[in-house]
Structures are given as structure tokens and as C-alpha cells.
Structure 1
Amino acid sequence: MAILVMIFRKMLKNKWLELSLLFGLVLSVALVSSMPIYTEAILQRMLVKELENYQVSSGAYPVTHRTGLYLTDDDPQKNGESTRQVDAFMESVKDRFSLPILEQVTERGTDTFSFKPIDTERVDPEVRRNADLVAFSNLEQHIKLVDGVMPAKEPVNGVYEVLVVESALTQLKMVLGNEFIIADERIKKPITVKPVGIINPKDEHDLFWYTSVESYSRSFLMDFELFEKTITNSSETDISMRSGFWFFAFDYSRMNMQSIESFIRTHNRIEGYVTNTFNSQSIKAPALSVISKYLDRQEQLRVMLWSLNVPVMIMLGFYLFMVSNLIVDRQKTEIAVLRSRGASRLQVLLSYVIEGILLGVVAYIIGPYVGMLITKLLGASNGFLEFVQRSALIVELNATAYKYALYAVTFSLIMTLIPAFLATRTSIVGHKQQMARMTKLSFWHKYFLDIVLLGISIYGLQSFKRRMSDLQSLGLDSASFKVDPLLFLVPALFTLGLGLLLLRIYPLFIRLVYWIGRRVWPPSLYSTLIQVGRSSTQYNFLMVFLMVTLATGLFSASAARTMNSNTLEKVRYKNGTDVIMNIKWENDAPPPSMGGMEEAGGEEAADTSALPITGPKRIQYTEPPFQVFTELPGVENAAKVFVKDDANVQIGKSTSRIKLMGVDTDEFGKTAYLKDRLLEHHFYDYLNLISTEPSAVLVSRSMAQEAGVKEGDSIYIGWNNVTYKPFTVYGIIDFWPTFNPNPQQPASANKKPELPKLVVGHLSYIQSTIALEPYQVWIDLKDEPNARMVFNEAINEKEIPVENIIDTGYELTQAKNDPFQMAINGVMTLGFLISVVISFFGFLLYWVLSLNGRVLQYGILRAMGISFMQLIGMLITEQVLTSGAAFLLGAGIGNVTSVLFVPLFQLSFNPATQVPPFQVLFDPSDSFRLYMIVTGMIIIGLVILGHLLSRIKIHQAVKLGED
């Protein structure tokens, strides 16, 4: 108990340091515990979105589970018993899906029997009427009566009243009120049924109707309870139940990784039960095909989040080490005294362990909840340092979050105990020697850790460059957005290694400055240079901490901006404009059932250059009016763009497949988008180049190099069933809107990958000389907030026959909402903000404690005649030589790290689709924002330190010296 009292008194004595340490512990625990929370939340959002897309594309509700059985036993009682067993089993496992049940349906069905009418005068007895008896649980709640009445719950005069769907009247050649009896030699006790009502679904989108209503056009729908009493559970009937279906529909908006595991586990259990028990069965769970790929992505996202947070965790580790080192530094005299009076190292260390556990418990309790707030912040990130109002992530604490929090507390406790462990090795004599002059080499400089870290990071840099070169040259495909964890670890090692290397050199710089002006420096600057030069080790932790935080912030900013920009630019380039529409053209093509003839192969079709190709009749098209698109609200510009992916070009005797694009140069230039500096000249210049000559074309460099084509050469272009016409090459281009010059297939063993080829010509010339075929409509929307919405409403209102539409705005939104993109934006934004916050706290804490520890020195200087302004000058000089130098060096390290390592992030993109080429971006606003924060931090720190310095009294310093 006494040791606890001593620990609490010590903590109260250093309350600001302890609170700062607790702040770092909470932040570390929150950051680590947020990883599993964010992983699950972002995957849950991604999964729900994919399930929604599945529902839209397939028209079927995705998260359902249907078990179907066909009972083969000839004994009705055994089939009834089997059915009851399955009912009980399904009832016992349905809650194990761990999802809210929106709909539950149990369906029964008998064999198909031949029914004959009772009244042969009113109903034709010669018509074959084969039907089965079917029953649904809770059917009444999901139907509307079209005609007739609802059936009775019990037989009426021995007749069973049933319902039918509308199509059953036609299929079974009957009307309501007719009675039919089973005419089957297998049935010794037939029953009579009487259709009394016609039904339709109450709601077309009702999940109850998991199959089409039309599939029951040869069924009599009996009351479920009556069916159970008469057929399923009856010991007297010889009508056997043959089929049973158990259907569940779940609320997938609440689906997460835990419920996915429960869903799969329960599905496997049901499948194992029915497979081992029954010979004929079927199980359908459409969601499994959507879910399966996300199990792998869960692990990918977890690894990536750890990787993204490596630099931030290194910063937090430095912060914890620095704060605990400051605490121990203030207590080194006490530790030395305790050691000199017989206390063992273990006893001294045990007091710090207890102190760390007390703080760790508080951090463990608070940290995960702060992690939830961090997760919500990440979910609102729409870009680097950009936040939007979007639907909140479903954030829940889980066991994994607390497990990660425990790991963080343990690691943080170890980091805080290292300074205490090292301090227990020093005797009181050694402590006084260290205080006298602090020029001893630090641990990392003594063992050349800076050189080791730089060597590892440079090796990693070269390895990544080789891998990137192989991917690009061989046309290999990298996994979609699969981020290599080392992409984040290696830059962090480089940042730390370079910072330590500069700190090895920095004391020499200080000594050089001192030596150059040793005869002219004023006393205040002279004293500061001596203080910094002789106590370089004292400032190492602070300077490394500030350098790493600033460099990490700049690297995070550059990496996030680069990856965001390249992702969005890829979408814009791939589409080429805001909206692309394919419109239905009237034509004389025969219906698909009358076709069957395939077009001739491309290369064989181009053997002659001046004669039409024989083959199927060429389809004649009628061009729809184009003016309607230019007049649509929200449209700034519109252009006709003819694209023929399977055109052919003949150069001499060789023929090859090309992509042909026909444009109207003026309209295309106003409508299309192409990033600047991709071509030698602006793409307007290339359009102007061909505008005066109808037969002029632009060709891709891949085609020019492969075929030896140059400006002024003639080429022949055409496709199946048309006459090839001559064109003249006017220019060679490397890029063009929508054109991907990268190889789309990996290289084979014997040849290089084939490069795509493009030819751009005049639409009017192509239409008049070769053929009139459907073109695309490219739309450039106005730069207004609601232009896209107004445009879409106009398309629907005018009923324009759109066959296909590509919306760049939608794809950009999808790209921003990609979970991996959101993770990068959110985590790097978080890393940037944390680096700013902890650098401010670390900076202020260090200098306040440093000032308090040097009260005697400043008091003596004041007593010797140094004015207050000279003391302020000394403080500013010391700040410039330490904190200012650290910030300056950190900025340089951050920029160097970005230039070297950010280009490696193109490994995260598929080289086959990464067009335009990957480009490293530096947003000046990010650097300016960070520099302003740093400047403000230094100014605030100086104001606080100056205020503290002004409160120093000479008599207090003298009294302190006497003590």
C-alpha cells in the first residue's frame, strides 16, 4: 500500500507530464483499436453496396436462403414425419444467421395429379387437367383477391375450397365454382377441390413471392393449416406430400463480417443436414457469390490499414518514449538516490510498471471509444483533408478492437519503461557526470542504426523499382488496388534513417557556426551555441520527433493527393467526357432468330483494298435527329463520336486490327477532356491540324512504330462488308481520350504483348465514303451543381431511346467511395492531423519542462546583468537552432521521401489500365497548411515560454541555488 501512495504522490507531482503521457497512450490505443472497427465498418458498407448493385442488376433480392426438398418415400406418414423434422430444424437454426428476418415462408406441395370435373355437363371432361396441391404459410397477408371469395378453413360438405392464380383458369380450362376430384389410381381416398377465388400478389416487390406467380398456373392453393391437418399430419390420407420449401429473406443493411460468418456457417449446417438426410434437395443462397470475394478483401484491408498506420505508430512511439524520458529525466536524481540506499533495479522498475499499468488501464477503457470517433472521422473523409456529409458508417465495438487495444497498451507500456530501465543502470556519480556534459553518442548513432535503416530502405526502393519495370514492360496485371505493406514501411524507415543521419552531422554544423563567429558573437548567442553544442544529446529526441512528424505529414499529403488524383484522372481519361450515350438507331437488321451468319474475320476481310467485301448483307441505318441532345437542359456541348473497335487498316500488304474514331473536330474539341501535357502539343492543335482535309487522320504511336507509318503516308481503312478507303496520316499521337496505349494482354513466351492501335479521322468523311453506322453521343455538362440531375430528368421526360449510358460523375463517386480509396484518404488524413497534434504537444511539453529545469541558470544570468530581452533572444536562438532546424530538416526529408517513394504507389494500380501515366503530385496548399501550423506552433510556444520566463525572480533562483 505504501508503494501505491508513493506512486500516486509522484504522479500528482508531475501531473502535467502524466496527463501528457496518458494523452499519448489513449491516442495510441484509439488508433490501433480503430483498425478492426474501421475494417469491419468499411467492408460492411462495401458489401451492402455490392448487394444493392446485385439486386438492381438481377432484379432478385440477394440475401435469401431457400431450401428445397423432394421426398421420395411412398409412405405419406413418413414424408409427413420428415417434413416436421425439417420444420423443427429450420426453426432452431434460423436465428443463427445473425440477421433480422424480413420474410419467412414455408411451402408444401403434393404430387401432380389428374383432376376430373364433378359436373361433366358444365365442364369438358376430355380436357387433361394435371395439377398439384400447394400451401403457403401466411398466404393471406400477401395476396389480394381479384375475383371470388376466400376459401373456408375447413371442408364444406366434404369439398376443399382452394385459390388459383389468373393464368390457372386458362391452363386448366375452368371457371370459379367448378369442383374437381383427383382421378389417380394411386389414390384410394381422393379429395374434391373447388376453386373459389382468384389472387394476385398484394405487392409486386413483396419478398414473400420468391418465385414467379405464373409458376403456380397448374396448382390449387390450399389453406396452410388445412393442408397440414389433411395431408402433412394426417395418419389416414394416402395423398403424400412430395415437395417442401423453406425460404428466408434477411435485412442485408445490417450485414457485417460477423453475420457473414454466421450466414456461411448456418448455410453449411443446413446443407450438411439435408444432404445427409435426403436424396433429392436443392439449396439456393444468391448472396454467397457476392460474399465470397469479400472474405479475402477483409484480410487485404486489414493489412493495408496496418501498413498505412506504420508512420503514425512510429510517431506515437517516439512521443511516448520522449514523454516517458522527460518524466524519468526529472526523477533520475531520485532513482540514483534510491539505488545508492540499497533499492534494487527491479524494485525501482516495479514502481514504473505499476504507474504504467494504472495509466494503461485508463487508456484501455477510454481508447476504444476514441477509436470509434476516429472511425467516424475516417468514414466522412472524401479526400485528403476533405470531409463530406455522407451516410455514417455503422460503427460497433467488438472483441477484436479490445484485443488490438490490449496489444497497443502492452507495446506502449514497454516503450515507456525503456527510459526507466536505462535510468536504473546509473549511479548517483554517473548521473552527475552526465548532467555536467551531454556530448556522449546516442544509442542509434553509436550502433549506426541510421546507416542500417537507410540501407534497408534504399534496398526496398530498388526492389520496388524493378518490380514496377517488369509489370509495365511485360503487360502483367497487378491485383486491383492491392497495396503492398512495405510501400508504407520502407518510406517510414527512410524518413527515420535520414533524420538520424542528419542529426549525426548537425552538431558539427553547430560547432562550425560557433567557430566562425567565436570572436564576434554577443554573450547571449555565444552562451546558446555552447549550450546546444555541448548538450546535443539532450535535443536528439525532440529533433528526431519533430523531423519524423513533419516529414510523415508531408509524405502522407503527397501520397494521398497523388493516389486520389491518379485514380480520378484514370476515370476521366477512360470516358473522355461527362456522359457517353449509345442511342437506338432504326435499321433493317433481321430479328436475332433469323440471323445465324457470323461476320468474316478481320484479317481475311481486308485482302482487297478497293472492292467491297462479300458476305452478309450490310445493315442500313437511319440516323436519329442530333439537335435534341444539344438542346437538353444542363448540356454545355455535345458531339458525335463514331467508334469502331474492330476496324482494319491495310498498309501495303499487311493488315491489322485498329480502333477507328470518327469525330467532328470543332464539337469534339469542345466536348472531350484530355489532361494537359500528355501530348507534345495541346490536343486542340492536333484537331486543327486535320480540320482542313477530310481524309486526314491521326494515328497512335504504337501503330506508327509497328507499321513504319509517318506523316504523309497513305493507309486504307475499312471493316467487314464495306469498301476500304484511303486516308492520309497527318500526325502521330501518344494519347487520346478513351484510348489506352498499354498492352491489354500479358506477354507470351515467344512474343511481346500486342499494343492497341488507334486512328482518328473525320466523322463526315467516314460516313460518306465508307458507311453510316451508329455513333456515340458525347455530352459535356454545364459546371453547375444540379446540371446532372436536370439532364437525367430531361432524358427520361423526352423518352430518348438510350441503349447504354456511361456517367463519368457516377464513376468518380464510385471511385471515391471505394473502401480502399476511402481507407487511404481517411488514414492519411488522420496521420496528418495526429502528426500536427502530437508535434505541438511534444514541442510545448519539452520546452516548458526544459525551461523549468533551467530556472537557476536563467536566474544567475539575470543576476549577472543579462537583460530580459537578451534572455528572450537566447530562447529564440535556441528554438531556431533546435526546433526550427528540426522543422526545416523535416520538410526537406518529407519532400525527398515523397519524390523517391510516392512513385512506387503505381504498383497499387493495374498497369494495363493506368492511363494517363502515374504522376506524383505536390499540392502547395498542403505544404502551406502544414508550414502555417508549424509557424503558429512555434509562436505560441515562444509566447508561453516568454511568459514563464518573465515570472522568474532573481531571489527565487538564488534561493534555489542555495538549496
Structure 2
Amino acid sequence: MALFVMIIRKMVQNKWLVSSLFIGLLMSVALVSSMPIYSEAILSRMLVKDLETMQTQTGTYPGTHYSKLFFTKETPDQMNRIYNRVSTFIKEEGAPGFQLPVQEIVTDLQSKSLKIRPQDDPEPDTKRNVKSVALRSFTDLEKHIKLTDGSMPAAQPVDGVYEVLLTERALIQYKTIVGAVFTVEDDKVAVPIKLKVAGTFEKLQDDDSYFRDTDLSDLTNSFVMNDQFAYQQMLKDSIIPIAGAGWFIVVDYSKMELQHVDDFIATSNSIRDTMLKNVTMYQMVSESRALEAIAAYMDRAAQLRTLMWSLNVPVLIMLGFYMFMVSNLIADRQKNEIAVLRSRGAARWQVVTSYAVEGLLLSGIAFGLGPLLGMMLTEVLGASSGFLEFVQRVRLPVRVTEEAYQYGAIAAGACFIIMLIPIILATRVTIVGHKQQMARLTKSPLWHKIFLDVIAIALALYGLNTFKKRLADLQSLGLNANDLTIDPLQFVIPALFIMGGGLLLLRLYPWVLRLVYWIGKKWWPPSVYATLIQVGRSSSQYQFLMIFLIMTIATGVFSASAARTINNNTEDRIQYGNGAEIVLTQQWVNDAPPPPPPGAPSSGADAAVTDPVVHYLEPSFDPFTKLPGVEHAAKVFTKNDASFSVNDQSGVARLMGIDTFDFGNTTWFRDSLLDYPINDYLNLIAVDPTAVLISSTLAKQKNVKAGDTIWVGWEDVPQQPFKVYGIIDYFPTFNPNPPIGSVDASDEETISNAPMLIVGHLPRIQVQLALEPYDVWIKLDSDTPTADFYEGISEQKMSITKIVNTREELARAKNDPFLMALNGVLTLGFVLSILVSFIGFLLYWVLSLRGRTLQNGILRAIGLSLRQLITMLAVEQLFTSGVAVLIGIGIGNLTSQLYVPNFQIAFNPSSLVPPFKVMFEAADLARIYTLVGIMLLVGLGILAFMLSRLRIHQAIKLGED
């Protein structure tokens, strides 16, 4: 107990150091524990988004599971037992097992196919009017339908007649009316049965997930009975032969989270197994619409997890460095005390134990609070729509998980070990050795001796070279990002480069100081002279702080650049792929023959007589220019399979026909993609109707150069001559990379078989080749909402068959959980970098100033004013912290240029057109410079305040003591 009290008192005496250490420890645990929390939250959001996309694309509700038993040779008693057993399992274990709110459990019964005939059949002796029907029933059907005619069927026979419901489509199928009566003429039924059409129905709500088949087409050949009556007739009394029983479970998939995925899959398998155990033969159906989407989601989830961890590695290294720096400062301040204890007989383990208890206490508190703080960080990150940009959106499903505490415990344990390392090293030094070390301030650090800087840079450059080779393979072979295994360490090497670059520059820095001193030694004022002497002779004292600042600032710059690059490249890819803000496809009047009806035989003779050439009538273009908000509009004709001949070679290329002036004003294009702005190329061909631009892929594959004549046409259209005026690498909507999966890596000849492009004048193509439909590209002014534009299309009654809206795609991309996760992680990395650098900077200089109290007191005593002393401190800050910040910004920019392209591996590199480009936003750099400037100014202000409180007599008294 006495040892514990002593430790508490020591912590109170060093409250600033301990507080700084605890802050770093708490942030480390919070960051690490937030990773599983944030991963689960963002992956849950991504899962729901994937399921919503599936519902939008397929028109079916994903949160369903349908299973059905088909009875074959079971006796009535066996069928009853099987039905009751399975039904109980579905209601008590199956549906609740999904761990999601259950919206519906629909039980349906289906009879075997029965032959029926109208009761008033005028030809009872023939089989002409005999049709087949299945009797069906659904639990709680009446709550989800509305009658379009007639009434609901009774729950018992009415005058010996069974009442049924039909859909409108079934009414037409059986050519009957409400009130009609059918007689069942089938040997499967033991007693005569009559069926009366009591009414017709339709869905009460179009988007009701109660119905497994959204358009009710599965009921076209069915009569629907009252569910209780059907159960009595088919199962209890076995009057109507039953074919099978099904259970349709509907759950609220919008509440699905990552924690529910395993339960969902396991429950689906459990229901399937239960079905298999209760049938004599494999006569069953078990399907879940969400399983396919979940399978694709699991691949994306694994990819996102890897990327999130990789993005956090530099921040974790930075926090570990911070922890070591603070622990080292604590050990340095208490080395004298440790050496005295050792000289008076204390064992090393006793000294280490006392500090270990202190570390365990701090680590335990951080472990308890860290995951909660991590949850708060996740809440904030969930609102990020870009780098350091936050919006109001639906909160992420955040919860503290057991995994979060496991990660927090690992982080606390790692920090505990880091804290003990300087203490263990300090206990090896005796009191004599400690005094000797104090006199040898110019001792070279360990990293300097083992050339750690050179080793780190070499490993980082090797990793960069490896990545570039693999990326080139991905792009040239048209592969997916998953086709080649990318080492996660590819995302660790930026931290290695930052550390190596910083250490290398610090190795050279003392020589720079000597040069500065030598250049102005005749003119430096005393304050600057003393500072240069202090920094130059004790450079090893400052190097730990400087490398810390370099790593934190460089990590912040790298995070800012990575986030901006990913966001901007995503937007560029969408705009380049679409070509313009709005792309409209209009229906043209033509003389094409109508398509043959389904199942109609095709005649080769008829096909030969029919003219294959379709003639089109071009609609007026003027209405497009008058739509609300239209700034510019352009005609863009595209023929993907145009044939060409050049230099005795032929091939197939994509042909684009444009009006150069309108096209240049309408399209979006990044000018840095070409040697000159795109409008220069458009102006080049504008003077000659026969002029065309060709892609560099065509020029390389067919050895074409500017000035060559190329003949272009397509099927049933004779080729016409054009003249090559220019060669381009990129053009709006054109992807020069091989399509994914189109290239066999083992076939060397096909590796160069990339897509080709020819761009010519639309009027010449229409006159010399053929008049065919084109798209209309539109550029809207920024103030016009797309809703007004759509309303204009509706008012003019344009026959638009397709609309591509770039604005909507950009908004959808910003809300993509994958991009949200990247922005959130990088924002967190940047904020932590700045916060940690500020705390570390302030802590180091406060302690340094306290340690030099005697020296500063002597300087004041010999005549230096407070202003001169503050000037000395400012110069010292400039030559240490200021230089470190500048180096950090420089290395961060260089690291971004080299390693940010690594992030494109998270996408499909073959589809990344335009190419991935490292981008810096002026606003991001302004944030960094502003925050760093505030950090330095606030730190200098605090230090100046401490100097102003210095009393000369106290400093001299301290020296005497």
C-alpha cells in the first residue's frame, strides 16, 4: 500500500507529464478500438445500401426467405405431422433466427393440379373446356388486397360450393366472370367439388413486400381459397389433394447490420436443413434473395477492412512514436532519481515494478474509456461527406462490441510495453554513468549509427517499385483488383518513407546549421549567435522532437492528399465516363420492321427479301437548346463497331461524330490528360470536314501517323476516306484500357489489343456514311435543379428513352459507404496528427524550458532583456520546430506524389479513366498551414509567458542547490 501511495504522489508531482502520457495512451486505445466499431458501422451501412441497390435493380424485396415442401407419397397423418413440425419451427426458431424485425410470415398451401369444367358447359361430352387449376391459400391475404369485384370467399362451403378469388389476369385466362361456377372433374378428388368465383382482387399497395411475386403472375393459373378453409380441406380432412406447403418470411432488411450477417446465413441454412429432414425425397425449395447480395458484399467488406487498416498504419506508428517520446521524456527527467535508487541498493526489477504499476493504472483507465471515446469518434466520422467536410445524414449504427475491447486491450498492452522500454533502459545506468551521459550531449543516436534512414528509404522504394509493376499488369491485362494479390504492406511503406526521409534530412541538418552559422558569424546578434551555438552543439537533443513533428505533419499532409485524390478522381471518373452533365437518348422515327412475335418461325427467304438497311428521320435539335437551364447542347454520334482500313491493315474501332464547337462547350475533360487542351485538338480538325482524330492505341497497333488516310465505315455502309490530323490518348467516354477479363495474360499478341477510337465530323459522317441516331449531350447552368430540367422534357413531350444524369451519380458516389469510410479514416488521421503534434510540441518545450531555468536565469542576470530572451527562444523554435514542420510538409507532399497512387488498387485499375492523379486542394493546404501556424504561435506564446514569470534570484538559488 505504501508503494501505491508513493506512486500516486509521484504522478501528482509530475501531473503534466503523466497527463500528456495518458492523453496519448487514451487516443491510441480509442483509435484502435474505433476501427472495429467504425468497420462494423460502415459495413452495416454498405450492406443495407447493397440490398437497396438490389431492390432498385431487380424490383424485388431482398429481405425475404421462401421455403416450400412438396408432398409425394406421405400419408395424411404424416403430412399433418410434417406440416405442424415445420410450421412451428419457422415461427419459433426460423423467423426469429434472422435477428431482424419480422414483417410477415406467409404460409401458403397449394393443391395438386385439378381438372375443372364450367358448370354450364354447353359441350359436356368434350374435353375442349376442361382446364387445369391449382387451389391456393395465403394467411392474412385479406389485409393486403382490395376487391375489384365481388366479395371475399367464405370460410366454409356455401350451399355445398367452395368460394374462391381470382386475379384479373386469371379471370381472363379462364375466360370467366364473377359468379361463375366450375365443377372439379378429377380422380384425385374423392368427392364432387364445385368452385365459385366469389370475386377478383389486386394488391392493396404496389410496394407491399407480402407478395413473393410482385406482379401476381404466379396466381394466373390458380384459384385462391380462404386460408383456414383450405387448411381444413387439404390437411385435416384431406378432401383436396395437397401438393405442398410454403413459408414466406419477410424481415426488415433496413435494420440489418454486420452482426446479423452470420445469423442470416446460418438461419437460411438451418431452414433448408429442416426442410430436407422432413421430406422423403428431395422435393423442396429454399431460397433467400439477400444471399447473393451478401456474398458480393462479403468480398467488398474484406477489401474495405484491409484498406481501412492500411490507412491507419501511419497514424498508429505516429501514436507509438508519441508514446515513446513522452515515456522517454519521463525517464530522462527521472534518470537521476532512478540512478540514486540503484546506487543505494534498489534492484532493477523493483524500480521497473514501481513504474509498471503506474503504467498499468494508466493503461487500465485508458482501456475502460478508450472504446467509449472510439464510439464517439465513429459517430463524428459517420457524418463525413468528404475530407474534413461534415453533413447531416442518418447516423451510423454504432455500438461498442466485444471486438472493440479486444482491440483496445491489445493497444493498451502495446502502449504499456512502449512506456516501460525507456524505464528499463534507464535502470541499466549507474549514478556515475548518468553523470557521464549528461556531459556527452553530442553522442550520436542509435538510428544514426545503424543507418536506419537509409534502410527505411530503401525498403519504401522497393515496395513502390513492386507496386508499380503489379499495377501495370492489372491495367495492361484488363484484370480486377482481386486477380492479383496485393500485399497489405504496400500501404505501410508510406510511413517508412516518411520516417526514412525525415531521418535522412536530420542527418544532414547539423551541417546546414554550421553553414548558416559560418555565413553570418560576423553579423549575428548575440541572441541568434547563442541560439545557433545551442542548437548546433546539442542537435541530438532536438532530433527526437524534430522527427516526431516531421512524422506527424507529413502524415497529416499525406492523409489530406489521399482523401482529396480519392474524392476528386472518383468525381473525374464519373464525369469522364458520362462525357457531359446530362446525356439524352431520343427515339427516332424509322422504317425498321416490327420484331417477330415470340416463338414465330424465322424464314431465311423472307430475311433475304427484306431490306436490312433501316432509314431514320432526324428529329429537330432546337427543342433541346430551349430546355430549362441548358447552357450548351451538342450532338454526339457513337458507333462502337465501325470498321476501318489503313496502311493495308483493317480493324474495328469506336467511331464518334461531333460538332467541334458545340462539343467543346458542352463536354467535361481534364486538360492535363493531353499534351494540349482538348479544344486545341477540336480546332485542329475544325477546318477540314475529312479530318479525324485517332487514339494512340490505334496508331500504335496499326502504325498510323498524322497525315495518313484512313477508310471508315460499318456493316452495310461502304467505307469512306478520312485524313488523320492528330493522335490522342484520351477522349470523353473513351477507355483505352482492355475491358476487364478480355485479355489472356498467356497470349502475348493480345496484350496490345486495346480499344481504338476515331473522332470525326458528324455532318460528314451523316452525309457520306449514314444517318443514324445520336445522343444529345447537355451542360446545365449551376443554378438550375435537374427537377426543372426534367419538367421541361415532360412539358415538351419528348420521346426520351434514356437519361444519364451526372449530378445524380456524383451525389450517389459521395454517399457510397466505401468512399465514406475512406474519408472518415483519413479525416481522423489528419485530426489526430495535428492534435498529437501540438501536444507533443508543447510538452517537449515546456519540459525543456524548465530544465534550462538556471541557464535562462544566468542570461537574464548578465544583462539580456526579456525581449532578447524571447527572441532567442523564437529563433530556436525556428531552427528546430519550424524546420521540422517545413521538412514534414515537404516530405508529406513527396510521399503523396509517390504513394497515394497505391490507393487505386482499391478500385478496378482497368476502369480508372482518366488515370489516377495525385491532387492537392488549396483549401486543404490552407487548413494544414493554418493549424500548424496556430500551433507554433500558441506554443511560443505559452513559452514566452513562462519566461516572463522567471525570477532571477530563484534561478540562481536553484543553481546553488
TM-score, normalised on structure 1?
Answer: 0.92
Aligned partners of 1:343, 1:446: CA distance in 2, in Å?
33
Q: Secondary structure at the match of 1:638?
A: strand
Alignment of 1:218-257 (within 5 A): 218-234=221-237, 237-257=238-258
Kept in 2: contact 1:587–1:622 (CA 8 A) = yes
Q: Equivalent of 1:146, from 148, 151, 166?
A: 148
Work out the CA distance in 1 between the residues paired with 2:449 and 2:260.
Answer: 53
Shift in alpha-carbon separation, 1:782–1:481, aligned structure 2, 3 A: farther
Bigger shift: 474-483 or 58-67? 474-483
8 Å contact kept, 1:437–1:534: no
Mean CA deviation greater in 269-278 or 747-756: 747-756
- Which residue number in structure 2 is paired with residue 689 of structure 1? 684
Which runs of structure 2 are paired with 1:457-472 in the superposition (5 Å)? Answer: 457-472=460-475
CA contact (8 A) 1:148 1:197 kept: yes
- Residue 373 (structure 1) aligned with residue 376 (structure 2): yes
Equivalences for residues 188-267 of structure 1 within 5 A: 188-211=190-213, 212-234=215-237, 237-267=238-268
SS state at 2:737 partner: coil
Kindly indicate whether residue 509 of structure 2 is the aligned counterpart of residue 506 of structure 1: yes
Q: Which one of the candidate residues 326, 334, 341 is aligned to 2:344?
A: 341
Q: Does 1:569 align with 2:551?
A: no
Question: Are the aligned partners of 1:74 and 1:240 in contact in 2 as well (CA < 8 Å)?
Answer: no
Q: Any idea what the Cα deviations from partners look like across 1:399-421, whole Å, max 9, x if unmatched? A: 22221111111111111121122
* 1:609 paired residue number: none
More deviation in 288-297 or 804-813?
A: 804-813
Q: 1:718 aligns with which of 713, 718, 727?
A: 713
Is the contact made by 1:105 and 1:136 (CA closer than 8 Å) also made in structure 2? Answer: yes
Which amino acid is 1:239 matched to? I
Which of 136, 140, 156 is the aligned partner of 1:134?
A: 136
Q: What's the counterpart of residue 674 of structure 1?
A: 669
Residues 620-631 of structure 1 aligned to structure 2 (within 5 Å): 620-631=615-626
State the match for 2:60 in structure 1: 60
Residue in structure 2 matching 1:646, options 627, 632, 641? 641
One-letter code aligned to 2:569: N
Matches within 5 A, 1:471-870: 471-473=474-476, 476-479=479-482, 485-511=488-514, 513=516, 523-593=526-596, 616-651=611-646, 653-744=648-739, 745-746=742-743, 748-751=746-749, 752-784=751-783, 786-870=784-868
Shift of 1:515: 6.2
Question: After superposition, where does 1:21-100 map in structure 2 within 5 Å?
Answer: 21-91=21-91, 92-100=93-101
CA change 1:592–1:396 in 2 (3 A) is farther
Q: Letter of the 1:550 partner, please give it.
A: I
Structure 1 distance, partners of 2:887, 2:176, is 92
State the match for 2:334 in structure 1. 331
User: Do 1:697 and 1:760's aligned partners in 2 also have CA atoms closer than 8 Å?
Assistant: yes
Relative to structure 2, which stretch is displaced further, 263-272 or 393-402?
A: 393-402
* SS of alignment partner, residue 669 of structure 2: coil
CA 106–560 in structure 1, closer or farther in 2 if over 3 Å, else same: same
Q: Deviations over 1:252-283 (max 9, x none)?
A: 11112221111111111111221243220111
Query: Secondary structure, in 3 states, of the residue corresponding to 2:149?
Result: strand
Which sits farther off after the overlay, 154-163 or 79-88? 154-163
TM-score, with normalisation over the residues of structure 2? 0.92
Instruction: Give the Å deviation of 1:715.
Output: 2.8
CA shift, 1:181, in A, is 5.4
C-alpha separation in 1, matches of 2:946 and 2:217: 86
Give the 3 Å change call, closer, same or farther, for CA 122–178 of structure 1 in structure 2.
Answer: farther
Residues 564 and 866 (structure 1 numbering): CA distance in 2 closer, same or farther, change over 3 Å?
same
Deviates more, 1:811-820 or 1:287-296: 811-820
Q: What does the per-residue CA deviation read over 1:479-510, in whole Å, with 9 as the maximum and x for residues that have no partner?
A: 49997533321111111122223333333444
Is the 2:713–2:720 contact (alpha carbons within 8 Å) kept by the matching residues of 1? yes
Equivalent in the alignment of 1:305: 308
727 and 865 in structure 1: CA distance in 2 versus 1, 3 angstrom threshold: closer
Distance in structure 2 (CA, Å) of the matches to 1:140 and 1:549: 66
849-858 or 622-631: which moved more? 849-858
Name the CA distance, whole Å, in 2 between partners of 1:142 and 1:12. 70
How far apart in 2 are the matches of 1:643 and 1:166?
44
- 1:391 match: secondary structure: coil
User: Residue deviations 1:654-710, cap 9 Å, x none?
Assistant: 321121111122211211222214333332233233333333322233333444444
Kept after mapping to 1: 8 A contact 2:307/2:906: no
| Distance in 1 separating the partners of 2:320 and 2:355 | 18
2:871 pairs with one of 870, 873, 894? 873
- Paired residue type of 1:947: F
- Which secondary structure does the structure 1 equivalent of 2:847 belong to? helix
Whole-angstrom distance in 1 between the partners of 2:576 and 2:154: 67
1:176–1:807 CA distance, 2 compared to 1 (3 A):
closer
Shift of residue 723, structure 1, vs aligned partner: 2.8
Maintained 8 Å contact 1:630/1:638: yes
Higher deviation after alignment, 493-502 or 140-149: 140-149
Distance 1:724 1:818, change over 3 A: same
Q: Distance in 2 between matches of 1:789 and 1:18?
A: 59
Shift of 1:350: 1.8
Separation of aligned partners in 2, 1:514 and 1:652: 69
Aligned residues: 947
Asked if the contact 1:372/1:397 (under 8 Å) is kept, the reply is yes
Q: Identify unmatched segments of 5+ residues in structure 2.
A: none
- 2:709–2:724 contact (8 Å) kept in structure 1: yes
Q: Distance in 2 between matches of 1:516 and 1:106?
A: 92
Distance in 2 separating the partners of 1:708 and 1:615: 40
Preserved contact between residue 123 and residue 174 of structure 1 (Cα < 8 Å): no
C-alpha contact 1:480 1:910 (8 A) present in aligned 2: no
Structure 1: any 5+ residue segments left out of the alignment?
600-612
Deviation of 1:713 (Å): 3.5
Residue in 1 that maps onto 2:107: 106
* Residue identity in the other structure for 2:339: A
**CA 1:468/1:79 → structure 2, altered by over 3 Å: closer, same or farther?**
closer
State the 1:107 CA deviation.
0.6
Which of 403, 417, 422 is residue 400 of structure 1 equivalent to? 403
Matches within 5 A, 1:415-430: 415-430=418-433
Kept in 2: contact 1:481–1:820 (CA 8 A):
no
Amino acid at match of 2:210: F
1:303 & 1:441 partners in 2: Cα distance?
Answer: 39
Which one-letter code corresponds to 1:685 in the other structure?
A: D
CA contact (8 A) 2:481 2:908 kept: yes
Deviates more, 1:87-96 or 1:466-475: 466-475
Which residue of 184, 187, 196 corresponds with 1:185? 187
Cα separation, 2, equivalents of 1:615 and 1:122: 46
* Contact 1:80 1:241 (C-alpha < 8 Å) held by counterparts: no
Q: How big is the alpha-carbon RMSD for the aligned residues of Structure 1 and Structure 2?
A: 2.9
Deviates more, 1:162-171 or 1:675-684: 162-171
Q: Which residue of 2 aligns with 1:942?
A: 940
Aligned mates of 2:688, 2:450 — CA distance in 1: 72
Kindly provide the amino acid, as one letter, of the partner of residue 782 in structure 1: D
Instruction: Give the letter aligned to residue 357 of structure 2.
Output: I
Q: CA deviation at 1:867?
A: 2.5
CA distance in 1 between partners of 2:193 and 2:922 (Å): 85
- Write the distance in 1 (CA, Å) between the matches of 2:182 and 2:478: 70
Residues 39 and 652 of structure 1, relative CA distance in 2, 3 Å threshold: same
**Which amino acid in structure 2 is aligned with residue 678 of structure 1?**
L
Q: Tell me how far 1:839 sits from its aligned partner.
A: 0.7
Partners of 2:29 and 2:370 within 8 A in 1: yes
1 CA distance for matches of 2:305 and 2:116? 62
> Which residue of the other structure, out of 421, 443, 448, is the alignment partner of 1:445?
448
- Offset of residue 632 of structure 1: 0.7
State the Cα distance separating 1:125 from its structure 2 match.
Answer: 9.8
Q: Contact between 1:300 and 1:482, CA under 8 Å: does it hold in 2?
A: no
